[in-house]
Every structure is written in C-alpha cells, then in structure tokens.
Amino acid sequence: MTNAAGQPTLSVSDSDATGQGGLAQLLVTGPFPEALRAAIKASRLSLDRIQHRLALRGVTISVATLSYWQSGRRRPERPESLEALRHLETVLSVPQAGLSALLGPPRPRGRRCRPTTMMPIDALWARRERVAGLLAKVDTSSDSRIGRISQHDRIEIGADGGQRSTTVQQILRAEQDGPDRWVLVFDSESDTLPVLDGLRNCHLGRTVVDPEAKLMVAELMFERPLARGETLIMEYQLVTPDPPYPAGGNCYCRKFRLPVREYVIEVRFDPSMLPSRVQQYSVPAGDEGPSRRRNLGLDPSGGVHAVALGFGPGVFGVRWDWPKH
C-alpha cells in the first residue's frame, strides 16, 4: 500500500496547495488535467525545463503536448505517450502511477475500436461455464470497484521445461469505496494445481477447485477495505513444490477484460533447458487467433520479457519452442 494512511506519500507545502485540498487530494480525485497542472506548479519547473529533464531521460516530447495535457485539450493515450507520462511522474516527484491512474480507459477511436464496457470475469475463458460455476462460490462484489493500473508476471521454468513458479505484482486502484479482495482465476493443464500464497498486502481467502477441468478460483484478501482513489501494491505467488513441473503448453498468457496501462511478462528459463525460439503474442477480444507476434531474444541470464502498454481487453502472452533432439 502507499502508506499507513492509504494515501500516496507526497510532501506539498501550504503555498503549493491548489483547490480541493491541494495536489495530494487531486491525485486521488482527479481529474487528470487539474492534477497535472497542480503537480507542475508544485515542482516550480517551467514546461521548457520539464521538457529538458525528460530529454535527459531519453523521452522526446514537445512543450505544446505538455501544455495540451495540462489544459485537457488532449491526454496521453498512445503507448509512447503513456511511457512519457511514467517519466513525467518521476520528474514532477509524484507517486508512481499517481497521474496515469486518473486517465481511465482509452477513448474510442475510429470504426475498428472495440467497446470498453466491462466484460464478465469469465468472458475470455474457453471453459466459460465451468469458470462461472466456480466464481459463483466466491465473493466477486469487489471486482467492479477496483481497477488494475499495472502488472508484472515473472515465470520460472524448471530444468524439465515445466513451469515451476509464477510471481505476480499488481498495482490496483479503488474506483469506489469498499473493495477488499482480488479474485484470481487459474487454468492449468496439469492434474496438480500449484500452491497459492499471498506475499505482500494480501492473504489467501476462499479457494474453490474444479479438479476435472483443472481450474482454480481464489480470493486474495486485502488487509482492509480500500477507499475510493486509494492504491495498493499486492504480490502473490503460485508454486509447484516438486518436479515434474507442469508444461503449461509451452506458453504463458494473461487475460485482460479491461484495458491495463502497463503489463510486463518475464519468463526465466533454466540454463540447462533453453528454448530455440520465443515469441510474444496478443489476441484482442473478439478475434479468433493471435493478431500480432514478435520474436524475442534471450538475455545473457536466459530470460525474456515483453511489455504491453494500453492493452486490453484481450489476451497477451509469450510462447516458446524447445530444440529438436
């Protein structure tokens, strides 16, 4: 969580306060243009100086664009703009995702845009009826009151080529008062489901399993209900204690029923078992199969990562092939 009081940690003098409780309040309530104007005022930096500091971080952005953002005439939506906003938050000394969390889902553009209305939790699962049956046994009332700002999945692949563990870090934001849990749906190809454990700011609640369908639904409970605008950093882990580890179809994917600002998927392979090819792929909601694929190169430690910005709804993942023996 951000701090004991549940609000973003920020030092603002009385002279920097602007409207409705100042910058700290605007970072909770928005709207985005007002919060950005307040952050720029509190930084005491001109738009030219901000542009210069962003350039030192490798970010190219015009003064006009910064002006448009703070006036509300435009807002950051494209992936490169969202990346620039991340650096801008650092330059302005506001909390991570303090500004980007105020943006909401991307606005529709053009004829091909898909609706951004909330899809049911089970909508992207092939065995939808089985998933819905498990979801009916847990409390999903928090789901519509909380949004996901960013997520980082780290998957460890064992020496036998199976998925040994998955560690997940999420930054969540309460859109209304009261959400107190995150509902997880896990689909396995193995008869043995992994052990689920809350690592940070959450603990395991109710868990229901469909052994035949190899599905698990679990509640990850927060330490207390969140207030509107409050953010939470939570971590959990899924671990298969002993080999053989589940192969998982030689791929890992995450299903998003609402847009996510930032998603990072990292796959670490055992040095004794390196793949011959790795690809990232995405399947926008409503499409039959992957619409985009890109080859990924292994880093020196035997891992790959892929980043999605402003993605969803849909499926984003990484798949790999093993050498032929």
Residue 67 belongs to domain with CATH number: 1.10.260
| Domain count within the chain | 2
183 and 315, same domain (yes or no): yes
**14 in any annotated domain:** no
Q: Are 201 and 233 in contact (CB under 8 A)?
A: yes
pLDDT given at position 7: 31
Strand partners, 315: 255, 283
Q: State yes or no: cis peptide before 244, omega within 30 of 0.
A: yes
The first and second tokens of residue 239, run together, are 């671990």
138 and 88, same domain (yes or no): no
Cα–Cα dist 232/97, whole Å: 11
203 and 79, same domain (yes or no): no
Q: Which of 60, 85, 102 is the last residue of a domain?
A: 102
pLDDT given at position 119: 64
Domain that holds residue 29: 21-102
pLDDT given at position 24: 83
Cα–Cα dist 146/144, whole Å: 6
Contacts (Cβ under 8 Å, ≥6 apart) of 283:
289, 290, 291, 314, 315, 316
Q: State how far the alpha carbon of 152 is from the alpha carbons of 85, 148, 168, 189, 253, in Å.
A: 18, 11, 6, 22, 12
50 and 162, same domain (yes or no): no
**156 in any annotated domain:** yes
46 and 168, same domain (yes or no): no
pLDDT given at position 1: 38
**7 in any annotated domain:** no
| Tens-digit pLDDT string for the chain (325 aa) | 333 333 333 333 333 334 434 888 888 777 888 889 999 999 999 988 898 888 888 888 888 889 888 888 888 887 778 888 888 988 999 887 788 888 865 554 444 444 444 567 766 767 788 888 999 999 999 988 898 889 999 999 999 999 999 999 999 999 899 999 999 998 877 777 889 999 999 999 999 999 888 899 999 999 999 999 999 999 999 999 888 888 888 999 998 887 788 999 999 999 999 999 999 998 877 665 556 788 999 999 999 999 998 887 888 999 999 998 6
Contacts (Cβ under 8 Å, ≥6 apart) of 191:
211, 214
**11 in any annotated domain:** no
Exposure of 255 by Cβ count < 10 A (0-12 exposed, 13-18 middle, 19+ buried)?
buried
**77 in any annotated domain:** yes
**75 in any annotated domain:** yes
165 and 231, same domain (yes or no): yes
